[in-house]
Amino acid sequence: MGPAFVYAATRTPFGRFNGALAGVRPDDLAAAALRGVLAKVPGLDPADIGDVVWGNANGAGEDNRNVGRMAVLLAGLPVTIPAATVNRLCGSSLDAAMAASRTVESGDADVVVAGGVESMTRAPWVLPKPSRAFPAGDVTAVSTTLGWRLVNPRMPKEWTVSLGEANEQLQEKFSISRERQDAFAARSHALADAAWAAGFYDDLVTPVEGAGLARDEGIRPGSTPEVLAGLKPAFRPDGTITAGNASPLSDGASALVLGSERAADRLGAPLARVAGRGAAALEPQAFGYAPVEAANQALRRAGIGWDDVGAVELNEAFAVQSLACVDAWGIDPEIVNVKGGAIALGHPLGASGGRVLGTLAHVLRERGERWGVAAICIGVGQGLAVVLENVSAA
């Protein structure tokens, strides 16, 4: 029994919907991230990996049949390496990392690889099976790209509103203006562009062979609050949420190596210690606010408070929900997503949790901060968070 550490992290560049990664299968994206993260720990014999835990939200197409195990096989790892795929929607790869850290802490394995993948471009349409053979009527194909589908009629209508409408309701509750949302989105693009230009992502991003994508495809360096103010509302005629202040549909994968203290002889010096974890849930339509309690839980379990935190990576599903969380925590917004967030970088559902955790570990190291929080909101009313301690600053 002992602590779990993050030893390495990587991700692919994130592609826009129907963009540069559209031709790459999700299991191949997952394999690329898996190979990329193992390249960062050359002293590790892959046969020593105790388990692989992979996140994936949709799982209805080429990512079916346990995409984590498919990644292991496609990456050329020994066939003796087991793998599981977990689904907590947008939080899937953060959930995978949390599960991996528990496995290490329990002593069940010294080294566990975690990650996640999503190709929202390649998410298929699905047809429900008829209740009897040879129906005479038409059948509707349902998109599995994003949001509710094939909804159980017993679900209350207020729970099953669109993700955008749910966040318009959040905007009403907390009176977060369109101007604040657009300013937050413009900052995300500017910081992401600056981070790439400064080389921050050079060592954190693994290219996808044959894709020709050098960096995240969704970054718009010229985005300003004034430019974003010209976009029309996407969900209500008089609403505040637009395509510019919400994360785009995206494709990509992320991966991390977690291990015990004694695994350092094979993995090298760790980046950070997993110090606390939290999971919380609210009404399904309030999902954007669920990271608030998840992060507060994680901090309590780490034995620290918000005053100790020097960096926050919060997945920007929507600017409005990000601002609602930051306001609730009462923290300085300038410590949040200092290398850009999902509005600019993209949000491939199953990969985003691994991205925020890996980015946080590197931000803590770069800035010399000791404590950081990675958090993510999750459709159907959930949130996850992890506290990391920068071991070089402890």
pLDDT of residue 1: 78
Q: Residue with structure tokens 């999503």? A: 118
Average pLDDT over residues 46-63: 97
Average pLDDT over residues 250-276: 98
Q: Residue with structure tokens 């209740």? A: 131
Average pLDDT over residues 270-284: 98
90 part of the active site: yes
Q: Which amino acid is residue 346, in one-letter code?
A: G
SS3 label, residue 300? helix
Helices (H), 126-213: 163-174, 178-197
pLDDT of residue 11: 98
Catalytic site residue from 189, 325, 362, 377? 377
Q: pLDDT-based confidence at 152, cuts 50/70/90? A: very high
pLDDT in tens, 111-124: 999 999 999 999 99
pLDDT at residue 339 greater than cutoff 80: yes
The overall average pLDDT reported for the chain is 97
Q: Please, what is the Cα angle at 285 between 284 and 289, to 5 degrees? A: 90
The answer to whether residues 373 and 313 touch, using CB atoms and an 8 Å cutoff, is yes
Cβ atoms within 10 Å of 257's Cβ, excluding its own:
28
pLDDT of residue 393: 85
pLDDT of residue 73: 98
Average pLDDT over residues 56-74: 97
Residue-wise over 27-37: b if at least 16 C-beta within 10 A, else e? Answer: bbbbbbbbbbb
Catalytic site residue from 189, 325, 347, 362? 347
Catalytic site residue from 90, 189, 325, 362? 90
325 part of the active site: no
pLDDT at residue 254 greater than cutoff 90: yes
- Can you list the positions of beta strands (E) in 23-92? 51-55, 83-86
Burial (Cβ within 10 Å: 0-12, 13-18, ≥19) of residue 373: buried
* Both structure tokens of 217: 């495809």
Q: pLDDT-based confidence at 131, cuts 50/70/90? A: confident
pLDDT of residue 394: 73
